[in-house]
Chain A
Amino acid sequence: MASTPHSDPTTPNFDIVAAYRTLLASDPEMTMPVAAIEALVEALTHSTANTTMETLELLECQTEILKASIPNPISLSAGTDLFQRYIITTLNQPSRTGVNILGPSGDFRAIRNHLLSNGRLFVERAKASREKIASFGRHFVRDGVTVLTNGGSRVVGALLHSAAESSFTRFRVIYVLPPPSSSDSKEGEKIVAGLRSRNIPVATIPDSAVGYCISKVDMVIVGAEGVVENGGIISRMGTYQLGLLAKSKGKPLYVVAESHKFVRLYPLDQFDLPIEQMVLEFKVTDDKQGSASEATEDEGVADMNGGVTSTKCSGVSAADAVDFTPPDLISGIITEAGVLTPSAVSEELIKIWF
Chain B
Amino acid sequence: MSDTPNGGAVQAPALAATNESTNRTPQAPSRDQNVTAAIPEESSKLSPAELKKRAKAEKQARRAQAKSAGPSSNQEKAHPPKEGKQQKDQKAAKDPKQGAKDDKSKALPVRRRPSQPNPPAPKEIKKETKKEQKPATGIFFGHLYNQPRQHSVVGASKEVHPAVLALGLQYSSYIVCGSTARMVSMLLVFKAVIQSYQTPQGTSLARHLTSHHLSPQIDYLRSCRPLSISQGNAIRWLKDIIIKIDPSTPEFDAKRELLEEIDNFILHRITVADKLIADNAAEKIKPQDVILTYASSSIVEKTLLQAHEKGIPFSVIVVDSKPLFEGKRLAQTLAKHGIPVKYSLVSGIAHAVKDVSKVFLGAHAMLSNGRLYSRVGTALVSMLAFSRDIPVIVLCESVKFTERVALDSIVGNELAPAEEILSQTERAALLPLKAHIPCRPNADSKDGEEAEAGTGEVISWFKDVENLQMLQVLYDVTPAEYIKMVITEYGSLPPSSVPVVHRMSTNI
A binds B: yes
Q: Which of B360-394 contact A (CB under 8 A)?
A: 387-389
For A215, what are the chain B residues with a Cβ–Cβ distance below 8 Å?
389
Chain A residue, CB-CB nearest to B390: A215
Complex A-B, nearest 6 residue pairs according to Cβ-Cβ distance, in ascending order: A249-B389, A250-B387, A250-B388, A215-B389, A250-B389, A249-B388
Contact with B along A239-254 (1 / 0, CB 8 A): 0000000000110000
For B389, what are the chain A residues with a Cβ–Cβ distance below 8 Å?
215, 249-250
A310–B102 Cα distance when bound, in Å, is: 87
Query: Interface residues of B, CB < 8 Å — how many?
Result: 3
Q: Name 6 A/B residue pairs within 8 A (Cβ), A-sorted.
A: A215-B389, A249-B388, A249-B389, A250-B387, A250-B388, A250-B389
Q: A301 to nearest B CB, angstroms?
A: 42
A249–B391 Cα distance when bound, in Å, is: 12
For B387, what are the chain A residues with a Cβ–Cβ distance below 8 Å?
250
Contact with B along A214-237 (1 / 0, CB 8 A): 010000000000000000000000
Contact with B along A249-262 (1 / 0, CB 8 A): 11000000000000
For A249, what are the chain B residues with a Cβ–Cβ distance below 8 Å?
388-389
For B388, what are the chain A residues with a Cβ–Cβ distance below 8 Å?
249-250
Chain A residue, CB-CB nearest to B386: A250
Query: Interface residues of A, CB < 8 Å — how many?
Result: 3
Q: A158 to nearest B CB, angstroms?
A: 29
Q: A39 to nearest B CB, angstroms?
A: 47
A316–B417 Cα distance when bound, in Å, is: 69
A250–B388 Cα distance when bound, in Å, is: 6
Q: A249 to nearest B CB, angstroms?
A: 5
A250–B389 Cα distance when bound, in Å, is: 8
Q: Which of B109-128 contact A (CB under 8 A)?
A: none
For A250, what are the chain B residues with a Cβ–Cβ distance below 8 Å?
387-389
A249–B389 Cα distance when bound, in Å, is: 6
Q: A230 to nearest B CB, angstroms?
A: 25
Q: B354 to nearest A CB, angstroms?
A: 10
Q: B350 to nearest A CB, angstroms?
A: 12
Chain A residue, CB-CB nearest to B391: A215
Chain A residue, CB-CB nearest to B388: A250
Contact with A along B481-504 (1 / 0, CB 8 A): 000000000000000000000000
Q: Which of A175-212 contact B (CB under 8 A)?
A: none
Chain A residue, CB-CB nearest to B389: A249
Q: B478 to nearest A CB, angstroms?
A: 18
Q: Which of B382-425 contact A (CB under 8 A)?
A: 387-389
A275–B387 Cα distance when bound, in Å, is: 37
Q: Which of A89-148 contact B (CB under 8 A)?
A: none
Q: Which of A246-291 contact B (CB under 8 A)?
A: 249-250
A250–B387 Cα distance when bound, in Å, is: 6
A215–B387 Cα distance when bound, in Å, is: 12
A3–B176 Cα distance when bound, in Å, is: 89
Q: B367 to nearest A CB, angstroms?
A: 27
A250–B353 Cα distance when bound, in Å, is: 13
Q: B353 to nearest A CB, angstroms?
A: 11
Q: B137 to nearest A CB, angstroms?
A: 40
Q: Which of A278-320 contact B (CB under 8 A)?
A: none
Q: B320 to nearest A CB, angstroms?
A: 25
Q: A218 to nearest B CB, angstroms?
A: 10
A253–B95 Cα distance when bound, in Å, is: 59
Q: A7 to nearest B CB, angstroms?
A: 60
Chain A residue, CB-CB nearest to B357: A215
Q: A220 to nearest B CB, angstroms?
A: 14
A249–B387 Cα distance when bound, in Å, is: 7
A354–B389 Cα distance when bound, in Å, is: 44
A249–B388 Cα distance when bound, in Å, is: 6
A250–B390 Cα distance when bound, in Å, is: 11
Q: A26 to nearest B CB, angstroms?
A: 46
A306–B388 Cα distance when bound, in Å, is: 43
A215–B389 Cα distance when bound, in Å, is: 7
A95–B353 Cα distance when bound, in Å, is: 58
Q: B3 to nearest A CB, angstroms?
A: 50
Q: A33 to nearest B CB, angstroms?
A: 37
A18–B387 Cα distance when bound, in Å, is: 51
A204–B456 Cα distance when bound, in Å, is: 65
A215–B388 Cα distance when bound, in Å, is: 9
Q: B255 to nearest A CB, angstroms?
A: 56
Q: A331 to nearest B CB, angstroms?
A: 15
Q: B119 to nearest A CB, angstroms?
A: 45
A335–B481 Cα distance when bound, in Å, is: 38
Chain B residue, CB-CB nearest to A214: B389
A63–B387 Cα distance when bound, in Å, is: 47
Q: Which of B420-446 contact A (CB under 8 A)?
A: none
A215–B356 Cα distance when bound, in Å, is: 12
Contact with A along B315-338 (1 / 0, CB 8 A): 000000000000000000000000
Q: A329 to nearest B CB, angstroms?
A: 16
Chain A residue, CB-CB nearest to B387: A250
Q: B382 to nearest A CB, angstroms?
A: 14
Contact with A along B147-190 (1 / 0, CB 8 A): 00000000000000000000000000000000000000000000
Q: A297 to nearest B CB, angstroms?
A: 48
A251–B388 Cα distance when bound, in Å, is: 8
A253–B266 Cα distance when bound, in Å, is: 52
Q: B357 to nearest A CB, angstroms?
A: 10
Q: B211 to nearest A CB, angstroms?
A: 55
Q: A246 to nearest B CB, angstroms?
A: 11
Q: A89 to nearest B CB, angstroms?
A: 45
Contact with A along B9-48 (1 / 0, CB 8 A): 0000000000000000000000000000000000000000
Chain B residue, CB-CB nearest to A248: B389
Chain B residue, CB-CB nearest to A249: B389
Q: B112 to nearest A CB, angstroms?
A: 38
A249–B385 Cα distance when bound, in Å, is: 11
Q: A216 to nearest B CB, angstroms?
A: 11
Q: A215 to nearest B CB, angstroms?
A: 6
A250–B350 Cα distance when bound, in Å, is: 14
A252–B248 Cα distance when bound, in Å, is: 72
Q: B133 to nearest A CB, angstroms?
A: 46
A215–B391 Cα distance when bound, in Å, is: 11
Contact with A along B180-219 (1 / 0, CB 8 A): 0000000000000000000000000000000000000000
Chain A residue, CB-CB nearest to B384: A250
A20–B463 Cα distance when bound, in Å, is: 80
